[in-house]
């Protein structure tokens, strides 16, 4: 459009990628704001096409989706739940399913293993395009001016030795400002905090853990960035306290994105909910989301249960009623007026939630300050081994004193539940699972 690129010659032509993105973001917005019957009509058509494809392309899926004898068609809610090991088996059985031409090529991906079960899977260009467009549309949803400076501090970037970040330059002709991208696992958090001040972006894309660490650094005296307005969070549960800290320390609001590696965005924070536990609109253009109880029956609105996700466009490695291991509640629509199913009480990974004697799952967050009030703890991990037994590993330079041991037990009884049998042990090191994400609370129940 600036004349510098011959591809931009609106209204005669614009680059195909941008035309596609304009279309996709329009459709995503239209579906999010549409009446529920229209969303269901669209999703129903997409689901039927997905199921027909899976059945036609894979014997594994034909067998998996086979209706009971005498039953012509099975509604989604009566199809079997796809656990992670089934998803892995489906992919191992058939590889990437053969795709029609409009799905484009296929790339191989793998989950990070935060679920404990690493999985390799395949994603088509079309599915990737829809995923990309959902995330891009999220900028419009939250009123971001993309000409402003953005920074991204994530694990997925390639190393950049000797450079503080890689800079994607601004493109004024396309209304996009500069983006500084930095790999988060290569430097201590305190250095990230200083870097953020130096870059001073308006928008930041990072994980809650990194953000929390940087907030600690600013509270400890590191100079704060002055322009930050929004933090786009991803990958971990966002606690209300983190939202309050981001607001108080940086004057910025957190805008969360709930996604899974296999299917991309599942739900995006409501742009109108300014509370500390905002609702998330499910991405109706990308997925169908259900919340079911342990028996696989739909939970009542507001009742927490297992999150099942069906990726409408993920034809290379279909995920139909896929249990991603998370716990949340689902409401039929949002308080803002949007008629999209909305996730609330997003507690995160089931395996990172303590199972209480009542059977309920509890999100446990004991932060460093609470442990430090007990003893000079450097790292910690809480692992529930059985319904009754919880083991706590504390990395310290010396053994716990008797008083510290008692204080630790008192903290755990208060924070977790008084009925558990707690074993508190000092260890030299914790055997963290490979990958950058360290889960300090794990339930094996």
Partner 1 sequence: MKIPLPPLPPQAVPAGWQWPAQVPPADLQRIIDQQMIVFLERAPRETWHARQAALLDKLLGFAAQASRAWRERLAGAAGSPHERLGALPVLDRETFRALSAKPLPLPPSHGVATAHSTAGRSGPAVGFHVSDHALRIVRHHYAADHLRHGRNLRERRAAIGPRTPAHPGLEHVFTEGNPWLGESHVFTRRSTDFRAEAHAHWLAFVAPAYLSVEPVLFAQMLDAFGGGAPLPRGLKQVMTSGAPIAPALRRRTRELLGASIRDRYACEEIGPVALQCPHDETDEPPMHVCVANAVVEVLNSKNAACLPGRPGRVVVTGLHHWASPAIRYETGDYAMLAPRCGCGADVPVLTGLKRAAN
Number of residues that bind partner 1 (CB under 8 A): 29
**291 three-class SS:** strand
In the complex, least distance from residue 25 CB atom to partner 1, rounded to whole angstroms:
9
Taking the least distance from each CB to partner 1, the nearer of 29 and 362 is: 29
In the complex, least distance from residue 72 CB atom to partner 1, rounded to whole angstroms:
24
In the complex, least distance from residue 333 CB atom to partner 1, rounded to whole angstroms:
15
Count of residues in the chain: 445
Q: What are the beta bridge partners of residue 124?
A: 106
d(CA 307, CA 163): 40
Taking the least distance from each CB to partner 1, the nearer of 8 and 239 is: 8
In the complex, least distance from residue 6 CB atom to partner 1, rounded to whole angstroms:
10
Taking the least distance from each CB to partner 1, the nearer of 130 and 196 is: 130
d(CA 125, CA 131): 10
d(CA 267, CA 289): 9
Taking the least distance from each CB to partner 1, the nearer of 15 and 251 is: 15
d(CA 266, CA 162): 36
Angle between helices 125-141 and 16-33 (to 10 degrees): 60
In the complex, least distance from residue 272 CB atom to partner 1, rounded to whole angstroms:
14
**47 three-class SS:** helix
130 sits near partner 1 (criterion: CB under 8 A): yes
Q: Which stretch binds partner 1 (CB under 8 A): 5-13, 162-170, 213-221, 245-253?
A: 5-13
Taking the least distance from each CB to partner 1, the nearer of 50 and 366 is: 50
| Cβ atoms within 10 Å of 65's Cβ, excluding its own | 17
102 sits near partner 1 (criterion: CB under 8 A): yes
Which 373-402 residues touch partner 1, going by CB under 8 A? Answer: none
1 sits near partner 1 (criterion: CB under 8 A): yes
In the complex, least distance from residue 31 CB atom to partner 1, rounded to whole angstroms:
9
Q: Which stretch binds partner 1 (CB under 8 A): 17-25, 227-235, 294-302, 407-415?
A: 17-25
d(CA 265, CA 244): 25
| Cβ atoms within 10 Å of 397's Cβ, excluding its own | 9
- The 20-59 contact track toward partner 1, x by CB under 8 A, reads --xxx-xx-xx--xxx--x--x------------------
Place of tokens 């484009």: 104
d(CA 425, CA 377): 11
**67 three-class SS:** coil
Q: Which stretch binds partner 1 (CB under 8 A): 18-26, 50-58, 85-93, 388-396?
A: 18-26
Which residues touch 131 (CB under 8 Å, ≥6 apart)?
Answer: 123, 263, 264, 265, 286
19 sits near partner 1 (criterion: CB under 8 A): yes
In the complex, least distance from residue 142 CB atom to partner 1, rounded to whole angstroms:
16
d(CA 304, CA 300): 8
| Cβ atoms within 10 Å of 432's Cβ, excluding its own | 13
Which 140-199 residues touch partner 1, going by CB under 8 A? Answer: 172-173, 175
Taking the least distance from each CB to partner 1, the nearer of 139 and 224 is: 139
| Cβ atoms within 10 Å of 24's Cβ, excluding its own | 18
Residues binding partner 1 (CB under 8 A): 1-3, 9-12, 14, 19, 22-24, 26-27, 29-30, 33-35, 38, 41, 102, 126, 129-130, 172-173, 175, 313
């Amino acid at each position: 459009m600036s004349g510098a690129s011959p591809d931009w010659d609106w209204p005669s032509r614009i680059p195909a990628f941008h035309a596609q993105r304009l279309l996709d973001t329009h459709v995503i917005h239209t579906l999010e704001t549409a009446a529920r019957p229209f969303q269901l009509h669209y999703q129903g058509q997409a689901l039927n096409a997905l199921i027909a494809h899976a059945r036609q392309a894979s014997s594994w899926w034909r067998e998996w989706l086979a209706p009971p004898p005498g039953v012509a068609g099975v509604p989604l809610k009566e199809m079997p739940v796809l656990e992670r090991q089934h998803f892995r088996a489906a992919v191992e059985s058939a590889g990437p399913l053969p795709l029609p031409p409009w799905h484009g090529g296929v790339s191989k991906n793998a989950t990070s293993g935060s679920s404990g079960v690493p999985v390799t899977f395949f994603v088509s260009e079309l599915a990737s395009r829809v995923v990309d467009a959902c995330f891009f549309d999220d900028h419009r949803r939250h009123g971001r001016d993309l000409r402003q400076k953005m920074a991204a501090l994530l694990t997925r970037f390639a190393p950049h030795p000797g450079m503080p970040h890689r800079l994607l330059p601004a493109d004024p002709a396309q209304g996009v400002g500069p983006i500084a991208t930095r790999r988060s696992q290569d430097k201590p958090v305190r250095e990230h905090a200083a870097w953020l001040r130096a870059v001073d972006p308006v928008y930041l894309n990072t994980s809650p853990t990194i953000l929390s660490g940087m907030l600690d650094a600013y509270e400890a005296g590191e100079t704060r960035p002055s322009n930050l307005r929004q933090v786009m969070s991803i990958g971990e549960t966002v606690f209300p306290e983190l939202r309050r800290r981001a607001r108080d320390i940086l004057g910025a609001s957190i805008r969360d994105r709930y996604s899974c590696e296999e299917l991309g965005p599942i739900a995006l924070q409501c742009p109108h909910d300014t509370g500390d536990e905002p609702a998330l609109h499910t991405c109706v253009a990308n997925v169908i989301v259900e919340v079911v109880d342990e028996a696989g029956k739909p939970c009542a609105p507001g009742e927490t249960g297992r999150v099942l996700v069906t990726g409408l466009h993920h034809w290379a490695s279909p995920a139909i009623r896929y249990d991603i291991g998370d716990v949340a509640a689902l409401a039929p629509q949002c308080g803002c007026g949007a008629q999209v199913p909305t996730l609330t009480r997003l507690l995160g990974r089931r395996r990172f939630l303590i199972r209480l004697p009542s059977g309920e799952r509890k999100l446990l967050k004991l932060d460093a300050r609470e442990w430090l009030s007990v003893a000079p703890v450097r790292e910690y991990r809480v692992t529930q081994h059985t319904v009754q037994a919880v083991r706590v590993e504390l990395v310290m330079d010396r053994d716990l004193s008797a008083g510290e041991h008692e204080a630790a037990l008192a903290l755990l009884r208060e924070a977790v539940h008084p009925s558990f049998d707690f074993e508190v042990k000092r260890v030299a090191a914790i055997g963290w699972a490979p990958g950058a994400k360290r889960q300090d609370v794990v339930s094996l129940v």
